[in-house]
Amino acid sequence: MLVSAPAKVNLHLEVLRRRPDGYHDLETLMVAVGLYDTLEFKDDSTGDVRLSCDRSDLSTGPDNLVWRAVELLRRHASSALGATIRLWKRIPLAAGLAGGSSDAAAALAGLNVLWRLGLSNAELSGLGAELGSDVSFFFAAPAAWCTGRGEIVRPLRLPRPLYFVLACPSVGLSTAEVFRNLAVPDRPASGEAICRAVEAGDVEEIGRRLHNRLQPVAERLCPAVTQLRARLAALNPAGVLMSGSGSTLFALCRDADEALCVSRGLLPLTPLPAIGERGKGEDGDGPRIHSVRSCI
């Protein structure tokens, strides 16, 4: 069984307060987009769980969220069933795109089917919240307003697809470090207007309302974010913002043609590889560019 795990972008992210448990209460609007990791699940009659990944720099042990999702699901369902799981990563790591969280959500959803556990979406979403702040969102995708740590999700209507160009710098950012360097605002920005704009499908208005409280912090920690922001803004899309805790920036585009123009406008930054070579961006030299649509 194959499951696609999409990335997400945040169109609004405001921090309300620091909590006694060290996390922060947030208000954020997330949209799933068409850049996917892929997970393959096969039954294992011996009861063993095996995880492998096409990226050698990613742990396939207990610090991988997929591993933790499997263990949590087995404990929750008192199950001794096994599985062989293969993970193909396409979503960059430490990029603010919630790749690891999405993989974990896909593992919960996939194994629920493979093992015929019969858990509801709400139960899976609750388990997801134990794994990470962004996991529950993927049970409410394609668009949701998320509060608490991010795990309280209210689905939003997405009346038309949204087009994005993602520009992922070769250096990632640690979510914990970005939050550590943040000053909680006295007066949080409201996300009401952007929710209305999303539900109305008004791209210009969404572009004007894009907001991410973590972006100035990320720009201080990582100058590549500032450089890319300027570069994207010069191409005149409807809006430019950093996703989550970075380091990915996205341009919100008015349609697929504009997304193509913006991607081309960034091309000088990413020399195209000769056939048979790996892309330079993939090896960590320049930003990787992905032109994507919101999921449906």
Asked whether position 150 contacts ligand C5P by CB under 6 A, the answer is yes
- Distance in Å, CB of 7 to ligand C5P, minimum: 14
Contact pick of 96, 99, 110, 132 for ligand C5P (by CB under 6 A): 132
Asked whether position 112 contacts ligand C5P by CB under 6 A, the answer is no
Q: By three-state DSSP, how is residue 109 classified?
A: helix
Strand locations in the chain, DSSP E? Answer: 2-18, 24-44, 49-53, 82-88, 143-148, 152-155, 163-168, 211-212, 239-242, 249-253, 288-293
Asked whether position 24 contacts ligand C5P by CB under 6 A, the answer is yes
> Measured from the CB atom, is 168 or 203 closer to ligand C5P?
168
Strand order in the sheet with 163-168: 239-242, 249-253, 163-168, 288-293
Asked whether position 183 contacts ligand C5P by CB under 6 A, the answer is no
Contact pick of 68, 86, 90, 149 for ligand C5P (by CB under 6 A): 149
Contact stretch for ligand C5P (CB under 6 A) within 130-138, 216-224, 226-234, 282-290: 130-138
Asked whether position 136 contacts ligand C5P by CB under 6 A, the answer is no
User: For 75, what's the count of Cα atoms within 13 Å in the CB-facing half-sphere?
Assistant: 8
Would residue 8 show up in a list of annotated catalytic residues for this protein? yes
Q: Give DSSP secondary structure letters for 166-224.
A: EEE-SS---HHHHHHTPPPPSSPPP-HHHHHHHHHT-HHHHHHH-EETTHHHHHHH-HH
Asked whether position 96 contacts ligand C5P by CB under 6 A, the answer is no
> Measured from the CB atom, is 207 or 244 closer to ligand C5P?
244
Per CB under 6 A, residues contacting ligand C5P are 23-24, 26, 132-134, 149-150, 175-176, 179
Q: Annotated active-site positions, please?
A: 8, 134
